[in-house]
Structure 1
Amino acid sequence: MPVFDNAKIVLADKVLKGHVVTEGGLITAIGEGRAGTGEDLDGDLLIPGLVELHTDHLQTHIAPRPGVRWNTEAAIQAHDAQIAVSGITTVLDALPVGLDEDGGLTSKESRALADAITEAQDSGRLRAEHRFHLRCEVSNKNSEPGFDLFEDLENIALVSLMDHTPGQRQFRSLEAYRRYFQRKSGMSDAVFEDFQAERRASAARWSDGNRKALAARANARGLVLASHDDATAAHVAEAVRDGVRIAEFPTTPEAAQASRAAGMQVLMGGPNLVRGGSHSGNVSAGELADRNMLDIVSSDYVPFSMLQGAFMLGERGGWSLPAAIATVSANPAGAIGMTDRGTIATGLRADLVRVNRAAPGAVPVVRSVWRGGVRIA
């Protein structure tokens, strides 16, 4: 019966100096004051394990350089290790679907990667619990055929409908799109012009039909849907039509407000929060937080940004530490129906993170991580 003693416990509504008792992987008791037994946390914070809904960090291990594919098992384990030491106990690995012509992971490679993650998890080689998030590029002709490859895949927890067409959503500014893709790809101006023209033509042909078809298929399977980079009221109206429950990375305050009004939860990136702004020049997560329009923080492409961002959020005016921690634990867990985790409460899973923070503004240090009461980091 593991006991975590002498901790500042971040509960749903307050921070309690006390102890937590676990048994069989569950939290069985929470008490004020010292228990006098178990592991002494020396006054460190004890928070719920983080629940990550959107990370494409794994791809940096699979394809660390252009044209390079790393050993799949080693890449998965390296990704998992970084996830765990960042305090993330449940992660949805984002798998691209329909981007077969972009030089990244193809839909077929994404499916093979999902199978490799499943095998690694089933054989006990992973620290965190891994589930899947299908990132479907609706502007591409390969979107529906790519989705077909995942019909029998279990543990899909989220499907997002993306459209990265130049001139709208994330890349409303064509100049920002040019800077991003030319820097990333090394395209000449002439090649880029052809590239973006092809992208816009493809979107005109495929986006609307693919969006409707994939939404219908996801809804039929009972999968949670997310929109992506909504910028306008019309985009949000599409999301409402399609049964979307999570608004990922809205790019304007107007889209975030409309999403909230429609009953969606607003998700923003930890890197945006930590850096103080969007790398694409869109609305900052901090601005949405100040307007009380931020529900979920995701690590996006930097795993540790979730934890760091949550502590930064807890120091903003109008935010308490419990409310900030909920954006990386209880809120994402609830958004995808995982009601057995995300909060330190009796009867829930003992997914716990010991965090030391020397002073306000300091980068938090993860001391230990437990999943289901078992130490994983």
Structure 2
Amino acid sequence: MWLSDFEVVLRDRVIPRGAVRIEGGMIAEIREEPAASADVNGDGRLLLPGFVDMHGDMIEREIEPRLNVRFPLELSLFELDKKLAGNGITTAFAALSFHGNNGYGNVRSEEHSRSIIQTLIELRENDLLVDHRVHARFEITFTHARAVIEDLLRAGALDLVSLMDHTPGQGQYRDVERHIETIARNNKITLEQAARRVRERIEYRTQSNDAVDNLEGIAATARDHGVIIASHDDDSAEKVAIVEGLGARISEFPVTMAAAQEARKLGLATAMGAPNALRGLSYSGNLSAREAYEHGILDILASDYHPASMLPAAIALANAGSGGLPASVALISANPATALKLTDRGAIEVGLRADLVVAERGRLPRLRATFSRGKLVYSDGTVPGLSTPTTI
């Protein structure tokens, strides 16, 4: 199948009017000019590699769109799968939390996260449109879940582990007063009640030695089983140095410039949210992804909580920064694929999976179609020849 007359974004350059041939689910040929006989004419639209998303929180809200309003797991996974395909995400790491009950109802409990993982593994081989992986987020103060995560690692059920510490006063919640206000607002309680909760968490973290043991134990088990480790919400160069020593290869959502710079210095990939990059600021007042990109220390964009941000964020960075489309598109394709050791995808290149995205720039970038391993898994019907599902 020939996809012809597209603006083809490669790793290091753009072919203004190129063509790509798909065969057996793989990229078989790339041409610098339109093909003489094409199955699909792009009429100058963008052709991008499929997006690799290392951190997407959306499954929790698909299952429980309102607090304690639960929907069946399979229905929720099917719906999320369609949304991901419709937003160009062809490899999705479902970020599942092991927090205990911390204001999210039961959706981030150890028991619930484990059931989601089991259901996802059962469905992903034959029933889902895109390639789903499992990203386990472990709160290092939640000792109860340590044995569960270690069991999942030994069973080969996890593809990525991130180590988190959401104790107020550091990381994402460095601004304690702001965090208290957020808790009060989200939980509809008084500031005094919220402050009491925060004090209890800080006291527990201060008095407990379990957190350090958990951090070292989970990291060791992940290393033993070849699972990539990420560190979450790094707020200082010192913390980055500690997690790098434990084997972390990714610093996701660094909250300060100093932490991001230290991560780059030590060889860790830095990952930040596409919503942050699109909006130009962090919703929690931390480091701006655009600022990190302008300083040359941003490697990866993740959907975080909003998959529709991936395409427009990459386009916005291409328009605002140096490197153009190849550099900004790499943030959502080649760079995460490299960091996650997925050597068969992440770029438009002969011999790689035909994970491809058709898009338009326009006033607002629009995603028109998505291929996952050569199969058309999404089309909005606007591109001639891409109106019905097709497997090549």
Other structure's SS at 2:182 match:
helix
1: CA distance, partners of 2:321 / 2:132 = 34
2: CA distance, partners of 1:152 / 1:68 = 33
1: CA distance, partners of 2:204 / 2:224 = 26
* Count, aligned residues: 372
State whether structure 2 residue 71 is matched by structure 1 residue 70.
Answer: yes
1: CA distance, partners of 2:19 / 2:169 = 53
For the Cα contact (< 8 Å) 1:296–1:331, is it kept in 2? yes
Identity over aligned residues, as a percent? 38
For the Cα contact (< 8 Å) 1:136–1:160, is it kept in 2? yes
Residue equivalent to 1:189: 191
Residue equivalent to 2:339: 335
Amino acid at match of 2:328: A
Deviates more, 1:339-348 or 1:230-239: 230-239
| Alpha-carbon distance change, 317 to 148 in structure 1, aligned in 2, over 3 angstroms | closer
Matches within 5 A, 1:34-183: 34-37=34-37, 38-100=39-101, 102=103, 103=105, 104-122=107-125, 124-183=126-185
Q: Please list the CA deviations of residues 225-244 of structure 1 after superposition, one character each: whole Å capped at 9, or x if unmatched.
A: 00111111221121121111
Structure 1, unpaired ranges of 5+:
none
Q: Please list the CA deviations of residues 39-59 of structure 1 after superposition, one character each: whole Å capped at 9, or x if unmatched.
A: 111211100000000011111
User: What RMSD in Å do the two structures reach over aligned CA positions?
Assistant: 1.4
Other structure's SS at 1:314 match:
helix
For the Cα contact (< 8 Å) 1:95–1:135, is it kept in 2? yes
State whether structure 2 residue 327 is matched by structure 1 residue 323.
Answer: yes
Given candidates 235, 244, 247, the residue that maps to 1:243 is 247
Deviates more, 1:203-212 or 1:128-137: 203-212
For the Cα contact (< 8 Å) 2:96–2:113, is it kept in 1? yes
1: CA distance, partners of 2:191 / 2:83 = 37
Residue equivalent to 2:7: 8
For the Cα contact (< 8 Å) 1:98–1:141, is it kept in 2? no
2: CA distance, partners of 1:149 / 1:64 = 29
Amino acid at match of 1:268: M
| Alpha-carbon distance change, 155 to 32 in structure 1, aligned in 2, over 3 angstroms | farther
Q: CA deviation at 1:155?
A: 4.9
Other structure's SS at 1:33 match:
coil
Amino acid at match of 1:173: D
State whether structure 2 residue 216 is matched by structure 1 residue 217.
Answer: no
Structure 2, unpaired ranges of 5+:
379-392
For the Cα contact (< 8 Å) 2:153–2:222, is it kept in 1? no
Residue equivalent to 2:381: none
State whether structure 2 residue 279 is matched by structure 1 residue 275.
Answer: yes
- TM-score, structure 1 normalization: 0.95
Amino acid at match of 1:6: D
Q: Please list the CA deviations of residues 163-203 of structure 1 after superposition, one character each: whole Å capped at 9, or x if unmatched.
A: 11101111111112112222222232332222112211232
2: CA distance, partners of 1:99 / 1:15 = 47
Other structure's SS at 1:150 match:
helix
Q: CA deviation at 1:14?
A: 1.0
Residue equivalent to 1:25: 25
Other structure's SS at 1:66 match:
coil
- TM-score, structure 2 normalization: 0.92
1: CA distance, partners of 2:145 / 2:179 = 22
For the Cα contact (< 8 Å) 1:107–1:149, is it kept in 2? no
Q: CA deviation at 1:153?
A: 4.4
Given candidates 351, 355, 380, the residue that maps to 1:351 is 355
1: CA distance, partners of 2:85 / 2:183 = 31
Q: CA deviation at 1:149?
A: 4.8
1: CA distance, partners of 2:346 / 2:124 = 21
Amino acid at match of 1:319: G
Amino acid at match of 2:257: P
Residue equivalent to 2:384: none
Residue equivalent to 2:383: none
For the Cα contact (< 8 Å) 1:140–1:203, is it kept in 2? no
Other structure's SS at 2:310 match:
helix
Other structure's SS at 1:28 match:
strand
List structure 1 segments (4+ residues) > 4 angstroms apart after TM superposition.
Answer: none
2: CA distance, partners of 1:101 / 1:321 = 40
